[in-house]
Chain A
């Protein structure tokens, strides 16, 4: 059994955190809320997504797992107005989800979860450095980098968090000291990342004014922030590009 009511806007932003990486996902539903763990097809980026039942106005669920085509959900929300509520109800017999919003009522065929790539094993990483900053700052640096390159360095030099990109001829760098950051834990950190992925990830991250970035040397980066006004969280893990000698 699954029946829930939530602000359309909250759900829409939550789904977007997944759809930037994958087209379809397995949703694990329990009385506590909804959990998704997914990896992009290239095994380069992962997302872990937790939406607590408290994010919902109404939430009644048993344990179950469903598969959904995220682009279809995005299509539905593209016509949703602000401040609208969406009511979701799962019909287990027909494996369909009905969505009611603003007088519209959709019936969405679900995907067989076993046809969707299995939940990834999440690598256990010790990341020595951590910064907390406004998502807007992260997005600004990524946008500047995109103009000149397809990859970008994230690193920490003593008390400075830097984001740097180098093109064939040009270079762009954003330095952020402790004052402009919300928090900083210094450590050895310098890794290179593909901007294809970073720009997808910062899109939803830019809506949060408190984004945690954990870093290491030639190691994946972990980018996390809260969603649904604190009633949920999203964490991305992005594998680096490795400079060979």
Chain B
């Protein structure tokens, strides 16, 4: 049984280690050391997660609950805690300081026991599970009490890390990249095989346990499982059709629909839908569930498609309308009547017990067409196989005329590569290039906008370390109404406030347009955006979709070549 203290000590060392190779070695050492039951927990904890991203379990602890728990543990007021947050600017340091400051701290029964045992990693996890299970009336109190237990049972070495994990903000510089390599190193399985298993299972904890118990063979045999989402295959932007065609020769060309991505799992009559962020959205889309149940001739299947909201003329409606459907938890049926959806299916990954990922696209397409009865609610749209540039232009213009985004140009022989944004799928859109960046900070406005958050700090992602690297701020492109909405949206995500500056939990993605990317020493990423403006708040996208530092570098280089 590993104590949480040991985990906290490892975090401290990792946090103070600069190079990612050294960090990987340290994480590998930690993963090797813990017991089999602890391994999945530690794998998630070290990245600042508690449950795998796709799991429906959520801890639901925000600043409010955390501050109350710290206040009660330390015998201080919530105002005292907020004061310490302002001083330290960090939730971990706040926890340490608050519990040091204790004036009349709450004792627990552990202090009156003969033997006083250390908090174990599993005990911390069990408390987090208990917190995630609470719901309804009194759940707030119960969450606070469970956290209070942890804070009062932990030593000052541990409380900072408990606080940071409870809000899923560990920030010791360990992200999926490092954990993947650490699992590979610890259990001697090639890194790309770990990656593949991760893309199929979406659960590095599971992959780590599998690697440890069964080695390389077991990791290779990890595969798709019905009702557990796999990462969606993604497309690169292609600057023009010539380049795309010269790369691919013959291409499979499809309309790129202006909608939202859906992954469909069918197991008999049991249908499960996942969004692009791999959230379970089955309950929000009863019409799609019904259409799938009636029109897919397969005992079991995993399908990929795009849900499009259409107006009375059959043209796609604003993207926000689709999100209304995806996010809706109540009045689901009336919203379904107001905003009907059409599901355009374009890929199939699994059919009647058989994994299809490695089949060439054209063959998967054949199987897809074979099991879908196209109709009003659901269809497999035309795919053109061509090497003719004029033909592609014609398809592209038709798609734009119909109100859609552009075209997808795919390699007809390519496999389905979960989570990959490779050269096998290319997209071409007419609009100016945009970047999906995560908001990590903001400023309270002044004058007329005092009560609004504005001037949002944006960041890209470094997948190796899991860190978010600032690339500048966006302060234009907002209406007053939108600022009010955004202020509301961000109010729950405020981590700390210093002066008018606010640190925000990285969760909300802005799609930002800009003139060009510049080299910059002002921002940690080394890049800055010229004339950034907000195009859309992408609540359909998740942290994993944030542009990587590598992509910024690439775009910078392409842009330099073009000019």
Contact = CB atoms under 8 A, between A and B. Distances in A.
Interface of A: 23, 39-44, 46, 71, 117, 120-121, 123-125, 151, 192, 194, 196, 219-220, 237, 239-244
A123 B113 contact: yes
Contact of B107 (A23, A125, A242): A242
A192 B148 contact: no
Most A-side CB within 10 Å, residue of B109, B113, B148: B109
Contacts of A239: 106-109, 111-112
Given A41-B130, A42-B148, A43-B153, A120 B109 contact: yes
B397 interface: no
B103 interface: yes
B104 A121 contact: no
Nearest to A220: B112
Nearest to A123: B112
B95 to A, nearest CB: 16
Interface stretch (B27-35, B138-146, B183-191, B364-372): B138-146
A interface, over-half SS:
loop
A41 B109 contact: no
Among A39, A40, A43, A240, residue most surrounded by chain B Cβ atoms (within 10 Å): A43
B108 A42 contact: yes
Interface string B105-142: 11111111110000000000000001000100110001
20 contacts: A39-B109, A41-B145, A41-B148, A42-B148, A42-B149, A43-B152, A43-B153, A44-B108, A46-B109, A71-B137, A117-B130, A120-B109, A123-B113, A125-B112, A192-B104, A219-B112, A220-B112, A241-B105, A242-B105, A242-B107
B109 A43 contact: yes
Contacts of A243: 103-104
A6 B111 CA distance: 39
Interface in B140-175: 142, 145-146, 148-149, 152-153
Which 5 interchain pairs have the tightest Cβ spacing? A41-B145, A42-B145, A43-B108, A123-B112, A42-B148
Given A41-B146, A241-B75, A194 B106 contact: yes
A120 B111 CA distance: 14
A43 to B, nearest CB: 4
A41 B149 contact: yes
B109 A42 contact: no
A218 to B, nearest CB: 8
A237 B109 contact: yes
Contact of A42 (B106, B112, B113, B114): B106
Contacts of B112: 123, 125, 219-220, 239
Nearest to B102: A244
A244 B106 CA distance: 11
Contact of B138 (A43, A71, A194): A71
Contacts of A46: 109
Given A239-B106, A241-B105, A41 B142 contact: yes
Nearest to A240: B107
Contacts of B149: 41-43
A97 B284 CA distance: 34
A237 B134 CA distance: 24
A241 to B, nearest CB: 4
Nearest to A120: B109
A92 to B, nearest CB: 25
Contacts of A242: 104-105, 107, 111
